[in-house]
Amino acid sequence: MCAPTSWSSRDYVLRRPHLQVLAARGFVSTPAEFAAWADGRGRQRLLMEDFYRDARRRHDVLLDGAGPVGGRWNLDEENRQPPPADGRSPAPEPWWPQEDEIDEEVRADLDRWEAAGEVSFVGDDGPRLFPVTRRDALDRLADFLDHRLDAFGPHEDAMLAGERWLAHSLLSPALNLGLLDPVDVVGQAEQRYRDSVAGGDPLPLNSVEGFVRQVMGWRDYIWHMYWHLGRDFRSRNVLGAHAEVPGWLADLDDAAVDAACLSDVLGDLRRDGWVHHIPRLMVLGNYALQRGIDPSAMTDWFHESFVDGYEWVMVANVVGMSQHADGGVLATKPYASGGAYIDRMSDYCGGCRYDPRQRLGEDACPYTAGYWAFLARTRDRLSGNHRMRRPLQGLDRLADLEAVVEQERRRGTTPP
């Protein structure tokens, strides 16, 4: 069998006699290639950017001779635009799979098991949104390449209340299930770019490079770091976060929440089992980071709530990237921000009862107030991080800091 994708399942399989465990499928770089990169040149830090460039060289992806097409490896600066001013998605609605009699049988089985108390679920039952067959997966890939790849890059980090898909590919579940090979996915995206250049109407390189970066860069990097960092990585908690996951969050109870961004994202997650990477990081993860929710518990919550939430995906992403519980192994600073970031990158704040400019009082944005309370709580632990020097210095300019901290202490993890 192919190697399982978590420490516990791999332990279980390796204890079985007379079973040959093959390499895991579904990744661009092999464990040997990652090890050679990680151990090479006296590397001080295992940065994703370095891994990504190495992988592109090894697999000859978007190269012009020995260097990157267009002269730059990283076009992220072009992919941080706020949402379109007209509030409309930059791409047409995605292709959707059609349910059949097998879906009906599976749903009946799940309903029966749930009624018997054998399993439990979160979120709503609804039409299946993600591929479960090779044919479906190929159709979704073709739809993305045909209609969405060109618009993917510029608004990659944007959020819109009424346009939750934007130009994202929605391919992560199919990749995780093994219905698509990431080498083929990257190859097809590059071929579309090469053909468009030859035809005189080139696809935006920032969109193509941004997509390739997600598939063969970040996704592969997280997979290999899960194993490299070891089974104890998920228990790291250098910021001393020990609050429980609140019930309204565990239940995806968007109706209990007044904050427009958090309520909308929870509603999307309850209905779809998926939101894209910025709501995960800057709305859901940012809230948990500010409130000091236990990172291992948040890892479990993400694992259980997302259709692509595998153990290997969530441990490094949540413990390291989102909650900074590793002290900077994966990310050089915490991904904490106030309401100003959400206001700039979304259309949520205009209709919200909270004001992103306020940190104190009834109209105080829970993200703005939470940001300053988080910095005050973790000041000593973050004092050695040079990238946090300026934000921490800002604490000394707040005459109302004690009041903000007390306000957020009273709020705790009650629905904002």
Residue 40: per-residue pLDDT: 77
Give the SS3 label for residue 159.
strand
**What sign does the CA torsion over 173, 176, 180, 184 have?**
positive
Look up residue 387 and give its amino acid.
R
Spacing of C-alpha 233 from chain mean position = 18
Residues of the chain with pLDDT under 70: 41-42
The candidate with the shortest Cα–Cα distance to 344, out of 46, 75, 80, 47, is: 80
pLDDT for the residue numbered 227? 95
Residues pairing with 64 in the sheet:
67
Place of tokens 């109209």: 363
Q: Is 264 exposed, middle or buried (0-12, 13-18, 19+ CB in 10 A)?
A: buried
CA 340 to mean position of chain CA atoms: 20
The string of pLDDT tens digits covering residues 209-231 is 999 999 999 999 999 999 999 99
pLDDT value at position 41?
A: 65
Whole-Å CA distances, 306 to 197, 271, 302, 309: 37, 11, 6, 5
Sketch out the chain's domains with CATH numbers: 7-97+132-228 (1.25.40.80), 235-411 (1.10.579.10)
Contact 146, 163 (CB under 8 A): no
Q: Are the beta carbons of 407 and 363 closer than 8 angstroms?
A: no
**Residue 37 structure tokens:** 């990169």
Judge residue 326's burial from the number of C-beta atoms within 10 Å of its C-beta, 0-12 exposed, 13-18 middle, 19 or more buried. buried
